[in-house]
Amino acid sequence: MTDPIYNDPDFVQFYDIENQNGRADFDYCIRLARDGGSVLDLGCGTGQLAAEMAGRCSVTGVDPASAMLDVARHRPGGDKVDWVMADARTVRVGRRFDLVLLTGHAFQVFLTQEDQRAVLRTIAEHLAPGGRFIFDTRNPAVEAWLEWTLRRSERMVEHPSLGIVRAWYDADYDAATAVVTYSTFYEMPGGGPVLGAESKIAFPRKEDLAGMLDEAGLLVERWLGGWQGEPYADTSAEIIPVGRPR
C-alpha cells in the first residue's frame, strides 16, 4: 500500500492518462448502482468512477494514498463525494451501503490471504440488507504478467505538459506466493531522467476467492469473466464476483 505509483505525485500524474482507454467497468457498476442509493468505492484511486456516480448516488470513496485523493478531490464532481483516506482492510465508516465495489484490480494489491480476507470482511461489514458487491481481479491462468516486459509493454504516453513520454514494465512471477513483482518506468522526453518504481500484486485463484467470500458471509450470485457481463470461464481474463450478503 506504499507503492510510489499510488503515493508519489510524479507517478500519480500518469495514472488517469494510462487508464483512460475503455470504461466497461464504469458502465457495469453504474448500471448496478441504484439511482438515489449509496455506494462505497474501496480503493477509489483518483476518483474517476466515484465522482461520476456522485451525480446519481450518495458516494463515499476510500483510498490509503493521499496523492490519489488529492487528484480525486479536485476533479469535476469531486465535491459531491465523501473522501476517506484509509486502508480497505481496516476502514469502518459507520454506515452501510447499497453497493460496495473495488475496480481497477484494486483487490490485487492485498498480497496475502489474511489481507484479502480482511478486505472481504470490510465489504460484508458495510453492505446494507439487500446490498450488492462487486470487484475484479485478473485470472492467474491467463498469465497477464508475461506481457509486462520491455518488448511487449513499451509504449509512448502523451502527457499534457511533459510531452511524449516513453513507458514500459518489467515483471517477475513467484509461483510459490502467486505474487507478481513488477516495475513501472517512465523516460522523460529527449532522453531525460527515468522514473522507476517497484510494485507487487497478487493473483488469487477463483477457488480460493470462493472460499474466502463464503467465510466472510458473502454470497456470489454471478461470476463474470469480463466487464461486458460474460460468464466466467477458465480462459477469462478477469474474475469478477457479483453478490450480496448471505
Transcribe 3-20 into DSSP letters: -HHHH-HHHHTTHHHHT-
Predicted TM-score (pTM) of the model is: 0.94
pLDDT at 19 (0 to 100): 85
Residue 114 contacts by C-beta under 8 Å, 6 or more apart in sequence? none
- List the domains of the chain with CATH numbers: 4-140+204-245 (3.40.50.150), 141-202 (2.20.25)
With cell 467470500, the residue in question is 213
User: 60 near 97, Cβ under 8 Å?
Assistant: yes
Would you write out the chain's pLDDT as a tens digit for each of its 246 residues?
A: 568 889 999 999 999 999 876 689 999 999 999 888 999 999 999 999 999 999 999 999 999 999 999 999 999 999 999 999 999 999 999 999 999 999 999 999 999 999 999 999 999 999 999 999 999 999 999 999 999 999 999 999 999 999 999 999 999 999 999 999 999 999 999 888 999 999 999 999 999 999 999 999 999 999 999 999 999 999 999 999 999 999
pLDDT at 20 (0 to 100): 77
3-state secondary structure 91-157: CCCCCCEEEEEECCCHHHHCCCHHHHHHHHHHHHHHEEEEEEEEECEECHHHCHHHHCCHHHHCEEE
Q: Which residues pair with 180 in a beta bridge?
A: 173, 201
pLDDT at 175 (0 to 100): 95
